[in-house]
Structures are given as C-alpha cells and as structure tokens.
Structure 1
Amino acid sequence: MGEAPAQAVETEADEYRQGAPRPLGGYAMVMALFSGVVAVAGGVAAVRGTQQRRLTPYELLLMTAGTHKLARLVTKDAITSPLRVPFTRYKEPGGPGEVNEEVREQGELRHAVGELLTCPFCFSVWVATGFTVGFLFAPGFTRMMASALTAVTGADYLQLLYARLQQAVE
C-alpha cells in the first residue's frame, strides 16, 4: 500500500526543501509554542472578560513604534547579542549599534529560533502579540513600556537625522 504517515511527511518535507537546509521540524515547534501561548492568553482573556477591550488609536501607534524598536533591539542590537549566541554566529557590524549575524545550521530547533532571532520582521509578530496580551491584562504597564520604546524609536531617528545633517555640512 502507501508509505507510513511519518515517512510520507518526511518525503513531502524533503521535496519541499529541494536540498536547502530548511528546519521544518523546528519551525513546527516554534509555531506550536506561539500558538499555545496565544491560545492560553485567549482562554484567560475569555474567562476574565478582557477580550472585549479595544486599543485606542494612540495605543496602536505606541504599539507599532514599540514593536519596531523592541524587535530591532532583540534581533540586531550589539548589546543583546548574548541572547542570540546559542542560535547565531557574528558576521559583521550592521547599522549604528547593530550587528549582522548568521544562523547556526545544526539542529532544527536551533536553526528555527536563530532565524526568528535574526529577523526583525519575523520577531515583530511575537512582539506585537506580547503587546496585545499586555494591553489585555496590564494596560497601564504595557502603555508605559510601549511609550518608552516609542521614545527610543523617535530618538534613534533623530540621531540618524542629526548624523546625516552633520555629513551634509561637512
């Protein structure tokens, strides 16, 4: 008859990969963790009745800028590189105060987490979800943290603008 289910899954995964190092098992574990956290938070919100809360436009703006900054801070900042050490290797300097890193290939979970921790676009989903949960359960604290990160985002852009203006004068 046909292949065993596990063998069929592996055959499909190999066909998908086309020889490239795609850590599909690691991705599945990371997605399961994310889905589990969201499910638990959603369940608790439903029991507590907090799922009816809506973000104000101001909170959405704070969350947007705060998500941008926290995602870059975790995935690119030189100071947070110790968090990424088990999953990445240093490659070269990046933007101001940032580094570029390569994902470690060995181990599907290590590789998948490495991709998550080096991609600000990917990590933004996790940060925005964290802010969403924060606004449901601790809106005052979350608003304060998002405000601080938004201020840092604004300061970063002002620093870059200042540096560009200095270069233009020279």
Structure 2
Amino acid sequence: MTESLRDIKREYEGEEDRPLASYLRVLTVYGGAVSVLLAAAKLAGRRAPEKISPMDILLMGLFTHRLSRTIAKDPVTSPIRAPFTRFDGVSGPAELREKVRSDGSGVRHALGELLTCPFCLSQWVATGYAAGMVFSPKVTRMAGATMAAVAVSDWLQLAYTRLMKAASE
C-alpha cells in the first residue's frame, strides 16, 4: 500500500476536521484497560461466569443504559464533561444538551464526543459491569439492580408526565 496515513486521513475527513489519531488513542486506552482487567483476573484466579442468566443480561442492560445517560446527560455530572464541552441548553427532562468545545482538538475533542454520547459510553460502562461480575458479582448485581430501578423510575416519571399532560388537554 503506497497511501500514507496522512493521505488516508485527508481522504476520510473530506471537508471536516476529525481527530482520527485521538480516536485511536481513546481506543488504545480502552484496549489497554481491557487487557489490564484480563491480566488482573488471571493473576487473582478469577474467571468469567460459566453462564450469564437472562436476569444478569437484563440488569447489565438497564445498568448500562442508565449510567451511560447519567454520565452523558445529567446536570450533576456536567463537571465531568465541562472541560470537553459547552452547555447548549436542556434536551429533555433532567437532561442537558452540550456541544463539544470548538476550541478542543485532538484528545480533548474525542473525549468530548465520547462523554456526550450515551451510545458511545455504553461499551465502556458495559465493560466495567462485566469486570465487576468477574471481581465482585454480588456488589455488581446490587449496582445493576439499583440502576435498573432508577431506569424504571425514569420511564414511569415520563409516562406519568404524559398522562397528566393528556388529562389536562
């Protein structure tokens, strides 16, 4: 292949400025974290569960959904995102809309995109939950049940608000 990485980057980006090298750094951190977790599990003699029950999958899914949205959208977690984003308004009940800082480039920009995207964060959160199931399954299931309860409560709050709005119309 005679195409240089710089040429590939230019071809990929077109008119946009995309921090491909920084995305690669973020992916490297993720891969490194997974490698460290696997090595730690091996050294500690811990193994992944032989079977994962439907209830564990449900808890993991609800936990991942709720924590990803909390990190990416919750007003209380905005200090985590503030170095990488700018406030841009409210996007829904108890959720903020933020833009990645325009003065941010490189890793700062990549982290801003990651921290404002619940879909992007889900992989990281689910990986943490999976590690918890290896190292401390009881505590992890309790955290899963807690965040599942919060997710169900959120949905009930939204349903209640819609019902009350419909009743007043």
- Specify the alignment match of 2:16 in structure 1: 20
Which of 75, 78, 81 is the equivalent residue of 1:78? Answer: 75
- Contact map agreement 1:42 1:51 (CA 8 A) in 2: no
What's the CA shift for 1:62? 0.6
The more displaced of 30-39 and 41-50 is 41-50
Which of 59, 78, 87 is the equivalent residue of 1:90? Answer: 87
Which of 50, 60, 63 is the equivalent residue of 1:63? Answer: 60
Which residue identity lines up with residue 73 of structure 1 in the other structure? T
Which residue identity lines up with residue 112 of structure 1 in the other structure? A
Which residue identity lines up with residue 25 of structure 2 in the other structure? M
- TM-score, normalised to structure 1, is 0.92
* Superimposed CA distance per residue, residues 143-166 of structure 1 (whole angstroms, 9 cap, x where no aligned partner): 111111000001001101111110
What's the CA shift for 1:136? 0.5
What's the CA shift for 1:11? 1.9
What's the CA shift for 1:22? 0.7
What's the CA shift for 1:80? 0.8
Which of 8, 11, 25 is the equivalent residue of 2:7? Answer: 11
Which residue identity lines up with residue 151 of structure 2 in the other structure? T
What's the CA shift for 1:94? 0.8
* Superimposed CA distance per residue, residues 77-136 of structure 1 (whole angstroms, 9 cap, x where no aligned partner): 111111100111111111100011111232210000000001100000000000000111
- Contact map agreement 1:116 1:122 (CA 8 A) in 2: yes
- Contact map agreement 2:129 2:140 (CA 8 A) in 1: yes
What's the CA shift for 1:39? 0.9
Which residue identity lines up with residue 112 of structure 2 in the other structure? G
Sequence identity of aligned pairs in percent? 43
Q: Distance in 2 between matches of 1:52 and 1:30?
A: 25
- Specify the alignment match of 1:132 in structure 2: 130
The residue matched to 2:18 in structure 1 has which SS? coil
- Specify the alignment match of 1:164 in structure 2: 162
- TM-score, normalised to structure 2, is 0.92
The size of the alignment, in residue pairs, is 165
The residue matched to 1:158 in structure 2 has which SS? helix
Which residue identity lines up with residue 53 of structure 2 in the other structure? T
Which residue identity lines up with residue 80 of structure 1 in the other structure? T
What's the CA shift for 1:49? 4.0
- Specify the alignment match of 1:42 in structure 2: 38
Which residue identity lines up with residue 139 of structure 2 in the other structure? F
